Amino acid sequence: MNDLFSLQGRSALITGGSRGIGRMIAAGFLAQGARVYISSRKAAACDATAAELSKLGPCVSLPADVSTVKGAQALAAAYGAHEKTLDILVNNAGAAWAEPFDDFSEKGWDKVVDLNLKTPFFLTQALIGPLRAAAAQRLAKVIHIASIDGVSVNPMETYSYAASKAGLIHLTRRMALRLIQNHIVVNAIAPGAFASDMNRDARDHGDDVAARIPARRIGRDEDMAGAAIYLASRAGDYVVGHTLVVDGGVTHARG
C-alpha cells in the first residue's frame, strides 16, 4: 500500500500545463515522483512555469499550439526527443466561449470544439507509440480534463463549450474500450469551480461562488492534484472509461 499513489519513475505530459488546472496537476505529479513535461501555446509562460516547478522535481517546457493536428504531431515529436515512452498523458488544454444564442459565431464554435474535443483524440493518436511502449511494462494512463458543464447544464450561454465537454466525456468511454486492449487506461476528470484564468469567477469572486456550492468552498490545488494522482497511479488501474466529478456537489445541486 505504501506505493499505491506513487508516480516514482513515471513520465507525464500535460497540455495547458503552465497555469490553472494543468499546473495543479503538474505540481501534484512532481510531488509524487514523476518526470513532468508541460506544454502551452505561450512559450514564455510555459518556460517560466517549468522553471518554477523544477524546484519540486524534473519539469521540462515543451511550448506548442495543439489546436491543430499538425500542432499535436509537433508536440509528440518534441516529447519524443526527450523520452521513448510516455506513462501518463493529461489532455488539459482547453478554451471557452460565451455568446448569446442569436449571435453565436462559427469562430466561437470551431475554436472551442477543435481544442476541447478534437485535440485530445489526435494528440493521443500522435503519442500512441510512446504510450504503447510504456504499457508494455506497466499500464499507461490517459486523462482527459472535461468539465461539469458536460455533465449538467450551466445557465451560461457557452454552447460550444458544453457540447465539447459532453462529447469529451463520451469520447473517453469510446477510447477507453479500444485502448485498454493495449494496456492503456483512459479516464476523465470533470472539474467544478477552481480558480483559473478560464474560471475567473472562481478566481476573482471565490466567496460568492462558494456560497452556491454544497461544500461551501471552491476547489483547492490539492483537490485537483489528488484526483489526477489517483487516476494516474496504481490506485486507479482498474478504473476504465470513467469521468471523476470533482465539484463539491454542484452537479447534484443543479439537478
Distance from first CA to last CA of the chain, Å, rounded?
Answer: 37
Q: Whose grid coordinates read 496537476?
A: 25
Strand order in the sheet with 35-39: 59-61, 35-39, 11-15, 88-91, 140-145, 184-191, 243-246
pLDDT of 254: 80
Distance of alpha carbon 79 from alpha carbon 60, whole angstroms: 10
Number of DSSP helices (H) and strands (E) in the chain, helices first: 11, 7
Give the model's pLDDT for residue 84.
98
Residue ranges with strand state E in the chain: 11-15, 35-39, 59-61, 88-91, 140-145, 184-191, 243-246
What's residue 170's pLDDT? Answer: 98
The whole-angstrom separation of Cα 44 and Cα 141 is 28
Supply the pLDDT for residue 203: 61
11-254 to CATH, choices 3.30.360.10, 2.170.120.20, 3.40.50.720, 3.20.20.150:
3.40.50.720
| Region 158-180 average pLDDT | 98
Residue 102 Cα to chain centre, angstroms: 31
β-strands 59-61, 35-39: how paired? parallel
In the chain, pLDDT over 70 holds for what percent of residues? 95
In sequence order, what are the residues at sequence separation of 6 or more whose Cβ sits closer than 8 angstroms to the Cβ of residue 69? 118, 122, 126
Where along the chain do its domains lie?
11-254
Write out pLDDT tens, residues 231-246. Answer: 999 999 999 999 999 9
Sign of CA dihedral 11, 13, 19, 20: negative
pLDDT for residue 200: 67
At residue 209, the pLDDT reads: 83
Annotated catalytic sites, by residue? Answer: 161
